[in-house]
A and B are shown apart, each in its own frame.
Chain A
Amino acid sequence: MDSNKFIRSVRLRESACRGCINCIKNCPTQAIRVHNGKAHIIDKFCIDCGRCIRYCPHHAKIAVYDPLSVINDFKYAVALPAPSLYAQYNNLANVDIVLNALLKLGFDDVYEVSAAAELVSEASREYIREHMDEAPFISSACPSVIRLIRVKFPSLISRLLPIKAPVEVAAEIARARAMKKTGLKPEEIGIIFISPCPSKVSYAKAPLGIEKSSIDNVVAIKDIYPLLLPHMKHDESQLKPLSHSGRIGIGWSNAGGEVAGLLVENYLAADGIVNILRVLEQLEDEKLHGLTFVELNACDGGCAGGTLTVENAYIAATKTKRLTKYQPVSRNHLSENPELQSIYWADDVEYEPVFRLGNTFKESLRMMSDVEKLTAMFPGLDCGSCGAPTCQTLAEDIVRGDATPNDCIYVLRSNIAELSRRINDLTENVTAGKALSAEEDELLHRYIRELTADLASFGVPDKTKQRKE
């Protein structure tokens, strides 16, 4: 299996991890386990949604992305600001204020992702119109949504809109334009995305629907936000007119923004990974009827709610609405962008059966039978003390060879009680004055050894040690 396929940008900061169960309980794909007092993310289960970053009370989950200094790696650096960047600022009357500040920060040029988003909207409208009989379509702009569908909903893969994400389209156009303008080679030009989320960081390294992304580096909105503030000049006479996107493009930063640009009436727009999971289940079961388009955003509130943003997602949504109030509907058209070779996916997204138990159906059937037996043995409290999110996942881990029944503290407790009872029975004979046979003596020693080992495996976190850290 291609290891690059499951690359992720959500990481663990081990020194900060206390081994609590908040992340394992909140992970939508049950991709996290706690073993030996530290969380571990299972690569192939993780969809990089960043939910654990939000739920970890100790800030032990972090996102990795590039520092702004990457602009020095190139002769010519183009910033691709996500529209959610604009929504971070208060009282922003003009997008050019942000775009001009990006130039002052050191970028040689800017190309708005919202401009490319309008091209994606146009292509989507055309595609939907031409393929109406295959509806409903699912938006493919959020990489975490694609990754979720790829591992959990094989029957829905064919419903993904086979159109590149706005940021990819922006990167292709920006590079082509920069090459034309400067005469530089493609590798001398840096295309740097200013991202609201870690999911797009992974996307740039392991894209979906195409072989290689045109994005060179990804920096975080939360890093760029404060750096732009001193460069933001609100005097409009001093601003270069750089912005070229309308209400549809900028609106993509909010939940519901994508469907607003499609002009379809029968749509569903869901945001937040838990809500999305429910929608996908219902779509898979064909319980949702009459839909043309389904917009899904992994983050609450859409991209503006990404984990690399600073503003509250709902306030950001209002700010975006205010910013776009007097904008034209759309300012970009496919016919005016000949440098864009193709807006469609070149590759198919393939089902990755990472949750399958065995390598063959027969093997899986046998393993599932063991899973059911083990699950029945556990108390069903889903307490998480074993380090797995539910009793069922612990059973799956055991069957996959990644855990043991003694990881369940209730199983361990009853084992200990049973061993103590046997030891007690044997020693009662001694108390009553009867000598133990050699066999009984050996048994007694064995029970004591087992009991000691069981007690040692309790692995209660050392509180005093933690406080010192």
Chain B
Amino acid sequence: MGEPLIYTYDIDGEDFTRAGEASSSVKNRLKMLGVDSAAIRKTAIAMYEGEINMVIHADGGTITVIISDDAITMVLADRGPGIPDIEKAMQEGYSTARPEVRSLGFGAGMGLPNMKRFTDEMKIDTVIGQGTTITMKVYLHSDGL
């Protein structure tokens, strides 16, 4: 097993227009690695949803991406308010985003459901008032496919 590649991104909580920069950067690296486009797509969409969530709810945070032989692992850590009811938050269409955020086209309540749908594993660790860490995995089969 080779040495995994590790990338860390600081997500700015102020700026909606910059959300997506980190997922874009990861996407372009995955292309250079020759990862299958379906796995790239899954990773890019899940990570973008995560980035947006961090901007909307948690004033930013940090994303660590680990690319190894068999999986792409994304760890999204924030120091936001935490998720009081995970089951509810996982429901499609459920959103706690502010109206002004929704008016920008975000906060449709599809973030977490999409993150789950587009990844092979997802784990949510959340502490009210302290923050949330979401770990997502997209499996890579032999030779990055």
Contact = CB atoms under 8 A, between A and B. Distances in A.
Interface of A: 152, 154-155, 281, 284-287, 351, 353, 355-358, 360-362, 364-366, 368-369, 372, 396
A365 B143 CA distance: 10
Interface string B65-108: 00111000000000000000000000000000000000000000
Interface in B19-70: 20, 23-24, 27, 29, 31-35, 37-38, 40-41, 44-45, 48, 67-69
B144 A152 contact: no
Contacts of A364: 32-34, 144
A159 to B, nearest CB: 12
A357 B32 contact: yes
A361 B35 contact: yes
A365 B2 contact: yes
| Secondary structure of the B contact surface, majority rule | helix
Nearest to A282: B20
Most central of B44, B48, B69 by chain A CB within 10 Å: B44
Nearest to A353: B34
Q: Which of B3, B24, B32, B44 has the most CB of A within 10 A?
A: B32
A368 B33 contact: yes
A357 to B, nearest CB: 5
- Listed residue (A355, A358, A361) with the most chain B CB atoms within 10 angstroms of its CB: A361
B134 interface: no
Contacts, number: 71
A209 to B, nearest CB: 20
Contacts of B68: 365
A361 B32 contact: no
A356 B45 contact: no
A287 B24 CA distance: 12
A285 B33 CA distance: 18
Nearest to A286: B45
Contacts of B143: 360-362
Contacts of B24: 281, 285
A155 B40 contact: yes
Contact of A358 (B4, B34, B37, B48): B34
Nearest to A364: B33
Contact of B67 (A284, A355, A365): A365
B27 A356 contact: no
Given A361-B34, A364-B33, A368-B33, A285 B20 contact: yes
24 contacts: A154-B37, A155-B37, A281-B24, A285-B20, A285-B45, A287-B20, A353-B34, A355-B31, A355-B32, A357-B34, A360-B34, A360-B143, A360-B144, A361-B33, A361-B69, A361-B140, A361-B145, A362-B2, A364-B144, A365-B5, A368-B29, A368-B33, A369-B2, A369-B5
A168 B111 CA distance: 44
Contacts of B38: 155
Given A362-B69, A364-B144, A155 B41 contact: yes
Contacts of B145: 361
Nearest to B1: A362
A284 B27 contact: yes
A356 B23 contact: no
A365 B69 contact: yes
A361 B44 contact: no
A276 to B, nearest CB: 16
Given A356-B31, A356-B32, A356-B34, 10 more contacts: A284-B44, A285-B20, A357-B33, A362-B69, A364-B34, A365-B33, A365-B68, A366-B2, A368-B5, A368-B33
A437 to B, nearest CB: 41
Contacts of B144: 360-361, 364
Contacts of B40: 155
A432 B103 CA distance: 77
Nearest to B23: A285
Nearest to A396: B32
A375 B69 CA distance: 22
A277 to B, nearest CB: 11
A152 B31 CA distance: 8
B28 to A, nearest CB: 9
Contacts of A366: 2-3
A355 B31 CA distance: 8
B93 to A, nearest CB: 16
A361 to B, nearest CB: 3
- Best-surrounded residue of B3, B29, B33, B145 (most CB of chain A within 10 A): B33
A441 B103 CA distance: 75
Interface string B107-145: 000000000000000000000000000000000100111
A284 B40 CA distance: 10
Closest 8 pairs between A and B when the two form their complex, measured CB to CB: A361-B144, A356-B34, A154-B37, A364-B33, A155-B37, A361-B143, A364-B34, A357-B32
